[in-house]
């Protein structure tokens, strides 16, 4: 039986994770209802809250093609959309999320007259009236949404977020200049939405939405702090299943906050009672980077059988380090500071540690040190260089600074043909020997794990 078909589960899944998953399903259902009622739907890239909060405050329905691509991958539908994108001339090395979206749009517009394809999982994505792109992290993202013009005549708005160098960020007055820039961007975005949808922003609702987003981020951050415990009470599988409402702001935010508070309570109860997130002994603690092979998540059950507990993931999909916003009353400025904190939250540590090369790699050092990991499972993505090019540097930095080894397994987020679960399992045992060796090396270097 293949890893994908394996039915034996050796991960103790959190009960409170399931309502969060249902929360996402409900969001897709509401988007479909909105379309049927004649209300507009927006397709948005992951913008790390920059545009999501504003769209939410204006009661505009939003679906996220990146998240939807993971749905297609986990349900075995993605390949048909990837094949359509390939046939339409898009290169196979392009981002799997974008190729899934191109194939979906091609099927919807060329064969379904703008209607949702019947095979689309979770009801599908309704045709949008606006595409909201972002320049954060990925160099291909806004071009991806522009390229959707091949299928639909839909306007595109690109949200801008500055990404300064670590040293440059600490230049005098730089932070305030960046916050002002983001605030202007958000103000212009609101004005555009008001014109496009002929409705005014409710500023009190925006303020409430910003503060709810901040609180969701705070609770989510505190959940991850609990995962430092031995044994770790929450596996990466539950993180990936529960991150979507907080990362994409899907569903009612008050309900989202309650669900994250419930998740915190369950994780805290596990910590208090010494309950592990894997069945059996926690032999090895690992962090995972970048995104997982959504199509072959059963690999983590197989690794859990060997005592591998995945205790933390790439910082890229976690909330900002909590920021003191007391005294900032303007919701636009609060939102700008919250979103920018995601980008620069680790800069002070990187500067102090002398690791100023790129902002992507350094947080791996923080997570490995604070979560006491024995190894890092690095997953360079064939179709996503933005989530891959920093991994060799992260691998070298972890070894140089902490004597923490890495297992690098190439794969992809959507295209299952690019990930080899058998090869992964064949490399597990020798990597355990490597982790055992470097435990002793760390002791000799004076580390406490």
Q: Shortest CA distance to 285 belongs to which of 371, 224, 373, 364? A: 373
**Average pLDDT of the residues in 139-167:** 89
Q: What's the CA gap between 56 and 61, in Å, rounded?
A: 8
- The pLDDT tens digits for 313-341 are 999 899 999 999 999 999 999 999 999 99
Contact 270, 396 (CB under 8 A): no
Distances (CA, A) of 305 to 12, 15, 285, 297, 359: 12, 21, 13, 14, 34
Residue 105 phi/psi, 5-degree rounding, is -65, -40
**Average pLDDT of the residues in 389-407:** 95
pLDDT of 82 above 50 = yes
For residues 24 and 116, the model is more confident at 116
DSSP SS3 for 143: helix
Place of tokens 């499972």: 377
Query: What distance lies between CA 342 and its chain's CA centroid?
Result: 12
Q: What percent of the chain has pLDDT over 70?
A: 98
Contact 45, 146 (CB under 8 A): no
Q: Shortest CA distance to 264 belongs to which of 217, 300, 231? A: 217
**Average pLDDT of the residues in 347-357:** 89
Contact 433, 283 (CB under 8 A): no
pLDDT of 387 above 90 = no
pLDDT of 357 above 80 = no
What average pLDDT does the structure give for the chain? 92
Question: Per-residue confidence at 385, pLDDT binned at 50, 70, 90?
Answer: confident
Domains of the chain: 32-192+278-445 (3.40.50.11900)
Q: Shortest CA distance to 328 belongs to which of 179, 124, 105? A: 179
pLDDT of 358 above 70 = no
What six digits make up the tokens of 282? 């926690």
CB count in 10 Å sphere of residue 281: 10
């Amino acid at each position: 039986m293949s890893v994908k078909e394996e039915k034996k589960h050796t991960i103790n899944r959190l009960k409170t994770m399931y309502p969060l998953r249902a929360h996402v399903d409900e969001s897709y259902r509401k988007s479909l209802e909105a379309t049927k009622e004649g209300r507009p739907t927006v397709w948005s890239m992951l913008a790390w809250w920059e545009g999501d909060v504003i769209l939410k405050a204006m009661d505009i329905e939003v679906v996220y093609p990146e998240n939807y691509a993971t749905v297609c991958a986990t349900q075995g539908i993605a390949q048909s959309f990837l094949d359509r994108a390939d046939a339409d001339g898009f290169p196979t090395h392009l981002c799997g999320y974008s190729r899934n979206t191109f194939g979906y749009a091609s099927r919807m517009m060329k064969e379904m007259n703008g209607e949702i394809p019947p095979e689309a999982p979770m009801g599908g994505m309704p045709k949008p009236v606006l595409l909201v792109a972002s320049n954060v992290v990925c160099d291909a993202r806004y071009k991806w949404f522009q390229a959707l013009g091949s299928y639909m005549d839909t306007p595109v708005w690109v949200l801008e977020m500055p990404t300064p160098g670590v040293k440059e960020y600490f230049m005098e007055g730089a932070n305030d200049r960046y916050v002002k820039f983001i605030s202007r961007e958000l103000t212009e975005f609101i004005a555009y939405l008001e014109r496009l949808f002929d409705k005014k922003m409710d500023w009190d609702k925006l303020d409430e939405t910003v503060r709810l987003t901040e609180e969701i981020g705070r609770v989510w951050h505190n959940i991850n702090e609990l995962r430092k415990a031995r044994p770790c009470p929450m596996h990466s599988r539950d993180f990936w299943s529960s991150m979507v409402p907080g990362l994409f702001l899907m569903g009612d935010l008050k309900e989202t906050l309650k669900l994250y508070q419930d998740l915190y309570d369950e994780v805290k109860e596990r910590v208090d009672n010494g309950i592990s997130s894997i069945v059996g002994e926690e032999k090895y603690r690992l962090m995972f980077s970048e995104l997982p092979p959504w199509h072959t998540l059963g690999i983590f059950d197989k690794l859990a059988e060997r005592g591998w507990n995945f205790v933390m993931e790439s910082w890229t999909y976690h909330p900002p380090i909590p920021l003191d916003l007391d005294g900032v009353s303007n919701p636009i400025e609060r939102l700008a500071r919250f979103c920018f904190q995601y980008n620069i939250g680790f800069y002070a540590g990187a500067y102090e540690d002398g690791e100023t090369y790129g902002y992507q790699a350094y947080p791996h050092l923080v997570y490995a040190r604070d979560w006491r990991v024995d190894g890092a499972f690095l997953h360079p993505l064939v179709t996503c260089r933005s989530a891959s090019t920093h991994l060799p540097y992260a691998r070298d930095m972890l070894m140089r600074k902490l004597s923490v080894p890495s297992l690098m397994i190439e794969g992809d987020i959507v295209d299952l043909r690019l990930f080899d679960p058998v090869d992964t399992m064949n490399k597990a045992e020798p990597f355990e020997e490597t982790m055992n060796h470097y435990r002793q090396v760390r002791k000799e270097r004076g580390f406490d794990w």
